[in-house]
Amino acid sequence: MARRRKGRPVNGILVVDKPAGISSNDVVQQAKRLFGAQKVGHTGSLDPLATGVLPLCFGEATKFSQYLLDANKTYWTRIRLGVSTETGDADGEVIAQVDATAITQTQVSDALEHFVGEIEQIPSMYSALTHQGQPLYKLARQGIEVERAPRTVTIYSAELLQFAEAYIELRVHCSKGTYIRSLAEDLGAALGCGGHVSALRRLAAGPYAEAQAVTLEQVSVIGDPQEMDALLLPVASAVSSWPSVRLHEDTAHYVRQGQPVQVAHAPTHGWVQIFESAEEDRFLGVGEVLTDGRIAPRRLVVSD
């Protein structure tokens, strides 16, 4: 006999403005409790130090969380030059200090150019990556350091917003898997003075931006479940940048059965959003264009 889930079925995406001082998992648990929801997950951790855009997937939206994990991100960060910490951010103990007052804005700008494009980063020992089933940060807290292979990431832009008294502020648009604290450490090393992240805010994650974000405090004062649910964005918004196809009811039936279908004027390759055309378009899920041109369903939502 299947075990019944606790909580109510809630489907959609809530863009939370994560506060500093708590983990992404803390945000998930608080949101799950506030909504009384059966299932909630986040789409990529933010460090406790960081604030900003944290999309949460509720119910059927969790099926599409991987696409948000793989999405590009945009960050604002303040970096303190001349001070290196154990963790690469302000939460760690200072391990080295150098006078960085002689560093010029031109030197920073020139150094930044070398970090734009496809680069390699060595993940921090204080990251959430796992080694033999253990998160690296847990090993680091035990005084254990393991070898980490460099990872290729892409920094599309790194705009210098402000430079003053050994502090710099950047706006960074980057690919998934980019560690801003690794960028701070590597930039500090390139300047010969070290550095760490003193503040970090995620401005955008995939299709979601900070203008769409709500705080947990805003949610907590609503109380009424229907009003809270009105804050949720549609499940389809997770893949809103993808091309879409719209199916008639008969064709949609076959898609729901997991069968590929022929769709007139469909894209010739790649992945697509699939909708059933009715009085109001109904999101069915996502599919992939096969070599023969048919659309094969890959991940579908469960209809109400």
| 64/115 Cα distance (integer angstroms) | 31
Tokens of 44: 């990529």
Contact yes or no for 295/288 (Cβ under 8 A): yes
Q: How many CA atoms lie within 13 A of 126 on its CB side?
A: 17
| 41/23 Cα distance (integer angstroms) | 13
Contact yes or no for 94/155 (Cβ under 8 A): no
Tokens of 205: 């994650």
SS3 content of the chain, % helix, strand, coil (to 5): 25, 35, 40
Q: CA torsion, points 233, 212, 274, 36, in degrees to nearest 10?
A: -30
How far from 163 is each of 41, 78, 230, 293, CA to CA, in Å?
37, 10, 41, 53
47 carries an active-site annotation: yes
How far from 49 is each of 19, 24, 88, 202, 267, CA to CA, in Å?
8, 11, 11, 11, 42
Contact yes or no for 217/22 (Cβ under 8 A): no
Provide CB contacts within 8 A for 267, sequence distance 6+. Answer: 243, 245, 289
197-227: burial string, b at 16+ Cβ within 10 Å, e else: bbbbbbbbbbbbebebbeebeebeeeeeeee
Given 17, 47, 89, 186, the catalytic residue:
47
- Residues known to be catalytic: 47
